[in-house]
Amino acid sequence: MRKTLLSAVVLGLLTPAASATTFMFDDIQDIDPENADSSWRATAEVGLLMRTGNTESQSWKGKLNLERDSMMWRHRGEVDYYQQKRETFEGDNVTEADRLFMSAQSNRRFEEGSASSFFGYLSYEDDRLSSYEYQTTVAAGYGTRYVHNPDIYADFEVGPGYSWDRRRDTNETEGELTVRLAAALNWDLSETARFTQTVSTELGDENTRSRSVSALTSNINSRLAIRVSLTLTHNSTVYEQADGRVPEKLDTETAATLVYTFLTVGNC
């Protein structure tokens, strides 16, 4: 069912983009609203690693970002999937990572030219090796952008939210009020290199979930880039599973991917 959902989201995002006119455009993570032109922009990245011989393993990562900016609105969507499998000496296939993360966010500026905005946020995560079958968060609140210079700016957000999840050990669904804190840094190191850092945490009484994504992107040309990224996911509360395994509180993911960037015309 999860693969069907992932396929539907990916196809839904790619289909309108592929059918529209595409232009060369440098890799983007976040767009300065002052330079917005109301077009949809997207990056699609994929990485694959296979090992044979003494060690039989394979891992792959796929990620899709979709974004649109205008003078008053900023919309962002993300689909991120990572899987890693290994064959043991006994010939059994062991899944060491299988994680799907999706999010969507919209920011509405208070007025034209204002750095302040109101945001709404939604996320869904399904990690097959965590304590939870899924984790979902909705949040809304205040956001602002600080521009240090033309090459460096950062977004900050804070607001109340609600998170709910389903535990694997009891199959119970639990929910609680949370406070979401988030920050995103964009640093253009040169004309062809960019560093981005996003950090968020959802504070709750039962569980505090945090996520950090650091990425260094270097353009090969106006369409293709190479990206090295580090993703950290942390849950303050984990539960022992039926097989006696206790999931780690901190998950780390290091990836090297090829990024394709495109821009589509449209005022929808």
The residue to which tokens 């999010």 are assigned: 103
Q: Is the pLDDT of residue 1 over 60?
A: no
Give the list of residues 6+ apart from residue 186 with CB closer than 8 angstroms, or none. 29, 30, 152, 153, 154, 194, 196
Beta strand segments in 88-151, E:
93-109, 116-127, 132-149
Q: Is the pLDDT of residue 3 over 80?
A: no
* pLDDT (average), residues 152-178: 94
Beta-bridged to residue 93, according to DSSP, are 87
Q: Is the pLDDT of residue 171 over 60?
A: yes
Residue type, 107: N
Counting residues of the chain whose pLDDT is more than 90, the rounded percentage is 61
Residue type, 261: T
pLDDT digits (tens, 9 = 90+) for 53-98: 767 788 999 999 999 988 899 999 999 999 988 877 777 788 888 9
Q: How confident is the model at residue 40 (pLDDT cuts 50, 70, 90)?
A: confident
* pLDDT (average), residues 174-184: 96
d(CA 136, CA 73): 24
Q: How confident is the model at residue 38 (pLDDT cuts 50, 70, 90)?
A: low
Per mean pLDDT, which range of 12-21, 37-46, 176-185 is the poorest?
12-21
Residue 34 confidence (pLDDT): 47
Q: Which domain holds residue 100?
A: 2-264
Residue 176 confidence (pLDDT): 96
Beta-bridged to residue 190, according to DSSP, are none
Residue 12 confidence (pLDDT): 43
Max avg pLDDT among 12-16, 38-42, 216-220, 259-263: 216-220
d(CA 137, CA 161): 7
Q: Which residue has the higher pLDDT, 10 or 22?
A: 10
Rg of the chain over Cα atoms, rounded to whole angstroms, equals: 19
Q: How confident is the model at residue 52 (pLDDT cuts 50, 70, 90)?
A: confident
Q: How confident is the model at residue 41 (pLDDT cuts 50, 70, 90)?
A: confident
The residue to which tokens 């994504």 are assigned: 213
Residue type, 102: M
The number of C-alpha atoms within 13 Å of 230 and in the hemisphere containing its C-beta is 7
The residue to which tokens 């270097």 are assigned: 218
* pLDDT (average), residues 18-32: 34
Residue 9 confidence (pLDDT): 43
pLDDT digits (tens, 9 = 90+) for 213-253: 999 999 998 889 999 999 999 999 999 887 788 889 999 99
Looking at the 3D structure of the chain, how many domains does it have? 1
Q: CA dihedral in degrees (22, 117, 100, 84; nearest 10)?
A: 80
Residue 2 confidence (pLDDT): 55
Of the candidates 180, 38, 49, 208, the residue with the CA atom closest to the CA atom of residue 103: 180
Residue 22 confidence (pLDDT): 26
Average pLDDT, the chain: 84
* pLDDT (average), residues 179-206: 96
Asked if 157 contacts 141 with a C-beta cutoff of 8 angstroms, the reply is: yes
d(CA 261, CA 40): 11
Counting residues of the chain whose pLDDT is more than 70, the rounded percentage is 82
What is the domain-level CATH number for residue 223? 2.40.160.40
* pLDDT (average), residues 99-118: 94
